[in-house]
Amino acid sequence: MSIENYLGDGKKLIDKVLAEYLPGKEAYPETIHQSMHYSLLAGGKRLRPILVMAAAEAVGADRRTVLPFAVAVEFIHTYTLVHDDLPALDDDSLRRGKPTNHKVFGEAIAVLTGDALLTQAFIIMTQSALMESIPAANVLRAANEISRAMGSGGVIGGQVVDIQSEGKEIDPETLEYIHIYKTGFFFKACIRSGAILGRAESKQLAALSEFGSHIGLAFQIVDDILDIVGDKEKLGKDVGSDIDKHKATYPALYGLEASKKQAEKLVEEGIASLQDFDERADPLREIARFFIQRTF
Amino acid sequence: MSIENYLGDGKKLIDKVLAEYLPGKEAYPETIHQSMHYSLLAGGKRLRPILVMAAAEAVGADRRTVLPFAVAVEFIHTYTLVHDDLPALDDDSLRRGKPTNHKVFGEAIAVLTGDALLTQAFIIMTQSALMESIPAANVLRAANEISRAMGSGGVIGGQVVDIQSEGKEIDPETLEYIHIYKTGFFFKACIRSGAILGRAESKQLAALSEFGSHIGLAFQIVDDILDIVGDKEKLGKDVGSDIDKHKATYPALYGLEASKKQAEKLVEEGIASLQDFDERADPLREIARFFIQRTF
């Protein structure tokens, strides 16, 4: 299967089941549920849940056993988008080609929608159905991985430094901190949690962590590049917004070409860390290559 | 031990350990950690964690075994306060006698602080230390109880209806919905999760749920009453703010006396549901009585 088909297939699977994991749009109070559906089903590549499933497959598990957990991870991703877009934060008006949540539902509901999506993710991750084929201790450990990645020592910490760095000259260390914490940790945690749910051995888990760290940073560097050279239609969001906001980016600090090379190097090193894995890790390897070839 | 001493003792225990469950104020990025500490350590009665521990004790467990989980519940409570106080929501300036989080740290950090507190709660609830004396399946189930209570079908749902009802005439059903969902569900989940972690039998759990539903609603009715007759100094927040905001309250709908009677009746019924419990449930019974006698 080509990587395009693999990703398309994974996206289709997630899109199909996503709505089954939250109350219907008609559930009272309707506003919050309509708002959750709006942001969840606004599209997206579903890369994080696909990585959860691909990591489970790489260690020999059936991706269907980790599907609820994969869905939960997409809920969490969506929560970060809804809150990041708020007027008090990035103040974005377009996301995945549609008006951002607060533009449609107002600021109060957007705050609560983010909260509800994050909470719903934990409802899903801790639900007993998930334990049918996976030991409860593994489920707890995987949920802990995701939580730690998303906390003040992870994604939120990265977002804080990102906000505080706007319009300022920042050094390479701070830029790397923002990228690793804001984006890299979450990708790595998706891969680690999928592997933990798939009962990875500790050596496998260490290699997958290495892989995750590398491709997570590569993804964000490419994101920075696409903000300059990308196509607004394909990306579904405004191009040039980092420059407008004087955001710290790799191309701004190192130039376009050096940034591309850095991303390619990271992906190569990431793939190299999977040398002891058989062909069941091919999807992970291909996803890593897609991370630097993507145009959206 | 008098109930005042029991509550004082529980509060002291929680206050003492709370800061051990999050990164220090100096941890990078400092702003978010200072902000988390600010809101967490701003005081509060710590009733929810005390209920988690009291419920575990009522079914024969040692409260120390559920302490991390109890702490997590206070993190969640604090997150709801930080987000509820935001300008886009209740727009409150005073909380527990101090300026609200966004007044001190700004709106962006306040949004992220609420997110980080909620996430930290899940880090704590899923940490392996908690499993040493409690089966992982029970930990998962307790975390699921709390998550469900806090989601769009629980506390957040109640908050949505509360916001949408401001300045409107509302019927008794809507008022009860707001109170049960916004406040009652969380109290009930604290009691249920404590009991689950303490390995309650299903009959015990059913009785404790009954108890929790009753005292949760009673607590909120008394909150409404105190907003009218309470002492600002003791409460640590503005009095009369519900009236100023044209919020739906029990006294507004039924009058002060009838509201008091309703709260008393709920507490009596709640206590009656604990008839099969021995003296180890006395703290729960006394907390229920405190809920209607309190002046803060």
Whether B235 has a pLDDT exceeding 90, the answer reads: no
Q: Which residue has the higher pLDDT, B245 or B192?
A: B192
A136 within 8 A of A126, measured Cβ to Cβ: no
B152 touching A, CB under 8 A?
Answer: yes
User: Which residue from B22, B143, B152 is facing A23, i.e. has the nearest CB?
Assistant: B152
pLDDT digits (tens, 9 = 90+) for A125-154: 999 777 788 999 999 999 999 999 999 999
ipTM computed for the complex: 0.96
pLDDT digits (tens, 9 = 90+) for A77-104: 999 999 999 999 999 999 888 999 999 9
User: Which residue from B23, B106, B150 is facing A152, i.e. has the nearest CB?
Assistant: B23
User: Which residue from B86, B110, B147 is facing A119, i.e. has the nearest CB?
Assistant: B147
Q: What is the pLDDT at residue B143?
A: 97
Non-local CB neighbours of A248 within 8 Å, separated by 6+ positions: A162, A165, A168, A170, A174, A175, A178
Whether A49 has a pLDDT exceeding 90, the answer reads: yes
As a whole number of Å, the CA-based R_g of chain B is: 18
Please report residues of A whose CB lies closer than 8 A to that of B112: 83, 89, 156, 159-160
Question: CB B119 to CB A156 under 8 A?
Answer: yes
In terms of Cβ atoms closer than 10 Å to its own Cβ (0-12, 13-18, 19+), residue A45 is: middle
Query: What CATH number did the domain enclosing A95 receive?
Result: 1.10.600.10
B209 within 8 A of B192, measured Cβ to Cβ: yes
Interface residue of B107, B111, B161 to substitute, partner A, most A CBs within 10 Å: B111
Whether A255 has a pLDDT exceeding 90, the answer reads: yes
Give the least confident one: A115-119, B43-47, B120-124: B43-47
CA distance A30 to B158: 12
CA distance B259 to B268: 14
Whether B24 has a pLDDT exceeding 80, the answer reads: yes
Q: What is the pLDDT at residue B129?
A: 74
pLDDT digits (tens, 9 = 90+) for B44-91: 999 999 999 999 999 999 999 999 999 999 999 999 999 999 999 999
**Closest chain A residue to the Cα of B141, Cα to Cα:** A126
Length of chain A (residues): 296
Place of tokens 């549609």: A98
Mean pLDDT for chain A overall: 94
The mean pLDDT value for A52-70 works out to: 97
Task: Specify the pairing of strand B98-99 against strand B94-95.
Answer: antiparallel
Q: Percentage of residues in chain A with pLDDT exceeding 70?
A: 96
- Reading the block at residue B6, the tokens are 């029991």
Show which of residues 31-90 on chain B sit within 8 Å of chain A, judged by CB atoms. Answer: 31-33, 36, 79, 83, 86, 88-89
Q: Which of A209, A223, A219 is nearest to A264 (CA)?
A: A219
Cβ of A209: how many Cβ atoms within 10 Å? 17
A137 touching B, CB under 8 A?
Answer: yes
Show which of residues 206-245 on chain B sit within 8 Å of chain A, judged by CB atoms. Answer: none
What is the b/e burial string over A55-72, where b = at least 16 CB atoms within 10 angstroms of the residue's CB? bbbbbebebebbbbbbbb
pLDDT digits (tens, 9 = 90+) for B160-169: 999 999 888 8
The mean pLDDT value for B86-110 works out to: 95
Question: CB B83 to CB A111 under 8 A?
Answer: yes
Whether B238 has a pLDDT exceeding 70, the answer reads: no
The mean pLDDT value for B200-212 works out to: 98
Whether A265 has a pLDDT exceeding 90, the answer reads: yes
Peptide bond into B29 cis (omega under 30): yes
Place of tokens 């966004």: B102
The mean pLDDT value for A8-12 works out to: 97
Whether A24 has a pLDDT exceeding 70, the answer reads: yes
A221: distance to nearest CA of chain B, Å?
22
What is the b/e burial string over B53-64, where b = at least 16 CB atoms within 10 angstroms of the residue's CB? bbbbbbbebebe
Q: What is the pLDDT at residue A159?
A: 96
Please report residues of A whose CB lies closer than 8 A to that of B88: 106-108, 110-111
Q: Which residue has the higher pLDDT, A123 or B295?
A: A123
Sign of the CA dihedral running A26, A29, A32, A36: negative
CA distance B185 to A4: 45
Question: CB B83 to CB A115 under 8 A?
Answer: yes
Give the least confident one: A33-37, A263-267, B18-22, B244-248: B244-248
B93: distance to nearest CA of chain A, Å?
17
Question: CB B143 to CB A126 under 8 A?
Answer: yes
B289: distance to nearest CA of chain A, Å?
31
Q: What is the pLDDT at residue A238?
A: 67
Q: What is the pLDDT at residue B288?
A: 97
Domain enclosing residue B256, as ranges: 3-293
The mean pLDDT value for A216-223 works out to: 94
Q: Which residue has the higher pLDDT, B267 or B229?
A: B267
Give the least confident one: A232-236, B33-37, B133-137, B246-250: A232-236
User: Which residue from A36, A123, A140 is facing B147, i.e. has the nearest CB?
Assistant: A123
- Cβ-Cβ pairs closer than 8 A, A with B, add up to 157
Q: pTM for the complete prediction?
A: 0.96
Show which of residues 155-194 on chain A sit within 8 Å of chain B, judged by CB atoms. Answer: 156-157, 159-161, 163-164
- For chain A, how many structural domains are there in total? 1
